């Protein structure tokens, strides 16, 4: 008994000492992070020269790497942080800045770019020049999380305005911007997308999760302001997204597979970021929406964190149940593959979010799925529900708070004395590397620190959702497109079609669609394609395994809003 008491005392002392250092870091880093974030917002930000008002630069770095652009994703996550601070009363000085952001994003929506125009896919464009002109260089496009994240940031502001008697501003100024994004999500959610790291073109857990959230809260906002004609469509597609979201779970590995393509393990910060950015405190520990304290999200967190324990030098010698530095994914080679500040903060934030819910509901539940996670903190714990009055609840939540603080402490250890946060820190030396003053790094610090205090933003409608019995892959309006191509062939040779969307097999020569030669030399096929979408395609010849592509450039069409469409081509 004395040994047990001594061990418990030692644990408490270690925890208290660790908490003190983390408290100190949070107190010193919070104002630095806020100032760093604001410095990167045009036009008055100290490090955002050349940026239009309300435009967020990703980083002031212009070489190795050049991040002096505005990404829709980063900007939206940054302003979600600012909006949460404003609407909660934490910082009421940013109203004009929020309005400038809304106006800037409304402008960017209308800028025709390599992904298309506002009505033909341009909302999927990931980044723009900071003067609000199109970036026309080669890039991983489209990235379909941006419209969802932007709508979420603006919807949070809209809900506050409505609660404070300003519905007319929402209807006239905000809703047109929000609706464009939500319509894009509803019409394109099941099309392939580059992931948030801009590397893998497939389906992405993060993208699916934030799209689901956006349509749920978008439907609720539409009801509030009388825009009821869109509610059924948004709700229907949200149900399809919720159904599709379940497919990312890997039951044998007990983690969430981040992307459906890419040839990697799928263990990825993408999944942790999705959990914290779709946190709804009213949903409890719901596993269908992968809430932070759900058994699947906790199991996934353990698998993800453990995947970095042996690959970074800075993690050498750290106990197997203690916090370590984490990065995007274990196979990463960008800048030689390092820990990221925002990924490490995200782990802490998920754990803080979980603690918020367990405290609010007065209990926590251990399932067979989450048992390995909880055994890190108590080897004798068993599956079951533990009320807040039990010693087990206290033991687990105290240890998990210490664990969460450990990730903040890791970042604190590798934060320079002045507090500036780069994108990454070197996996062996801990020295900051890659883009300096990354705006998203600063935002991630602020949201993790807020979660540590028990802050939770308003819910978005995740409570009590039921996964449909069958999933539908119909992503909004579609068009039957008939492709005709004049092509003479030799015996045994056939004409195939492939292109830039799922229905055209995403440029795969192996899975390309065989055309009919019933009206030779016209080869034909009719394919259902998403409406209002820019589609690129090419014909290919196959003859006894030999594949010949049509010459450049790619063919391109913009599908109409509905009905049928016919394309008449000649082989090049």
Per-residue pLDDT of 178-194, as tens digits, reads 999 999 999 999 888 99
Question: Is residue 81 domain-shared with residue 183, that is, in the same domain?
Answer: yes
Quick one: pLDDT at residue 263? Answer: 86
On whether both 342 and 490 belong to a single domain, the answer is no
- Residue ranges of E strands in 302-422: 363-366, 384-387
- How far is Cα 54 from Cα 102, in angstroms, rounded to an integer? 7
- Pick the closest to residue 98 from 118, 110, 111, 81 (CA basis): 81
In the predicted model, is pLDDT for residue 381 greater than 90?
A: yes
Domain of 71, CATH number, reads: 1.50.10.10
- 426 and 382 in a single domain? The answer is yes
198 catalytically annotated: yes
Select from 199, 219, 250 the last residue of a domain: 250
d(CA 83, CA 97): 10
In terms of domains, do 205 and 328 share one? Answer: no
Closest CA to 570 of 500, 522, 507: 522
Burial class (CB in 10 A: 0-12, 13-18, 19+), 492: exposed
Please indicate, yes or no, if residue 334 is contained in any of the structural domains: yes
More confident residue, 428 or 473: 428
Task: Residue 527: give its domain's CATH number.
Answer: 2.60.40.10
Which residue among 29, 195, 268, 423 is the active-site one? 195
Q: What is the mean pLDDT of residues 287-309?
A: 98
Residues 91, 99, 198, 331: which is the catalytic one?
Answer: 198
Q: Are 113 and 162 in contact (CB under 8 A)?
A: no
399 and 492 inside one domain: no
The stretch 377-384 carries a mean pLDDT of 97
For residue 400 the two structure tokens come to 């998990």
Residue range of the domain that includes 320: 1-39+291-456
pLDDT of residue 533: 73
Confirm whether 550 is a catalytic residue.
no
The pLDDT assigned to 132 comes to: 98
Do the strands 564-570 and 478-486 form a parallel or antiparallel pair, or are they unpaired? parallel
Residue numbers belonging to the annotated binding site: 139
Give the per-residue pLDDT at 236: 93
Binding site members for substrate:
139
CA terminus-to-terminus distance, the chain: 84
Asked, for residue 468, whether it belongs to a domain, the answer is no
Lowest mean pLDDT, pick from 385-399, 410-424, 554-568: 554-568
What crossing angle do the helices spanning 269-277 and 341-361 adopt, rounded to 10°? 40
Residue 263 in domain? no
HSE toward the beta carbon, residue 13, CA cutoff 13 A: 6
- Same domain membership, residue 200 and residue 61: yes
Whether 203 and 99 share a structural domain: yes
As for how many domains the chain has, the answer is 3
Write down the pLDDT at residue 532: 66
Structure pTM? 0.82
Domain co-membership, 91 together with 194 = yes
């Amino acid at each position: 008994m004395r040994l047990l008491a001594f061990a418990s005392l030692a644990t408490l002392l270690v925890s208290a000492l660790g908490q003190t250092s983390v408290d100190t870091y949070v107190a010193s880093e919070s104002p630095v992070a806020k100032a760093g974030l604001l410095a990167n917002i045009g036009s008055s930000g100290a490090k955002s020269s050349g940026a239009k008002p309300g435009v967020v630069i990703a980083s002031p770095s212009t070489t190795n790497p050049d991040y002096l652009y505005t990404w829709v994703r980063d900007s939206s996550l940054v302003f979600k942080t600012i909006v949460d601070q404003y609407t909660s009363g934490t910082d009421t000085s940013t109203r004009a800045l929020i309005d400038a952001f809304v106006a800037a994003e409304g402008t960017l929506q209308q800028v025709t770019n390599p992904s298309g125009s506002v009505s033909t896919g341009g909302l999927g464009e990931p980044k723009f020049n900071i003067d609000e002109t199109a970036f026309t260089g080669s890039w991983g496009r489209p990235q379909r999380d941006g419209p969802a994240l932007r709508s979420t940031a603006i919807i949070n502001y809209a809900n506050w305005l409505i609660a404070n008697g300003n519905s007319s501003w929402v209807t006239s100024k905000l809703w047109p911007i929000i609706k464009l994004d939500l319509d894009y999500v509803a019409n394109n959610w099941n099309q392939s997308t580059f992931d948030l790291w801009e590397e893998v073109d497939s389906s992405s857990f993060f993208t699916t999760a934030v799209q689901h959230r956006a349509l749920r809260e978008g439907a609720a906002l539409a009801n509030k302001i009388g825009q009821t004609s869109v509610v059924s469509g948004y709700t229907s597609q949200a149900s399809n997204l919720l159904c599709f979201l379940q497919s990312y779970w890997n039951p044998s590995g007990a983690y969430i597979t981040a992307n459906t393509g890419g040839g990697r393990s799928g263990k990825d910060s993408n999944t942790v970021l999705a959990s914290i950015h779709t946190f709804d405190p009213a949903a409890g520990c719901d596993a269908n929406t992968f809430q932070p304290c759900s058994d699947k999200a906790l199991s996934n967190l353990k698998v993800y964190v453990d995947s970095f324990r042996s690959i970074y030098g800075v993690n050498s010698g750290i106990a197997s149940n203690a916090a370590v530095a984490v990065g995007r994914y274990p196979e990463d080679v960008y800048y030689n593959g390092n820990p990221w500040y925002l990924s490490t903060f995200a782990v802490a934030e998920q754990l803080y979010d979980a603690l918020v819910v367990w405290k609010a509901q007065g209990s926590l539940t251990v399932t067979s799925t989450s048992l390995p996670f909880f055994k890190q903190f108590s080897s004798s714990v068993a599956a079951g529900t533990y009320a807040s009055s039990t010693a087990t609840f206290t033991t687990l939540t105290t240890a998990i708070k210490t664990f969460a603080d450990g990730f903040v402490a890791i970042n604190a250890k590798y934060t320079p004395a002045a507090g500036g946060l780069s994108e990454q820190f070197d996996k062996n030396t801990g020295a900051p590397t890659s883009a300096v003053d990354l705006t998203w790094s600063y935002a991630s610090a602020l949201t993790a620190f807020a979660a540590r205090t028990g802050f939770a933003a308003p819910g978005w409608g995740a409570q009590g959702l039921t996964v449909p019995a069958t999933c539908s892959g119909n992503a909004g309006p579609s068009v039957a497109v008939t492709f005709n191509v004049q092509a003479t062939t030799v015996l045994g040779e056939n004409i195939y079609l492939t292109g830039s969307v799922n229905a055209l097999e995403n440029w795969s020569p192996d899975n390309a669609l065989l055309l009919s030669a019933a009206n030779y030399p016209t080869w034909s096929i009719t394919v259902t394609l998403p409406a209002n979408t820019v589609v690129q395609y090419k014909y290919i010849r196959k003859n006894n395994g030999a594949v010949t592509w049509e010459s450049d450039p790619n063919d391109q069409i913009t599908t109409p809003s509905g009905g049928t469409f016919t394309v008449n081509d000649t082989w090049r």
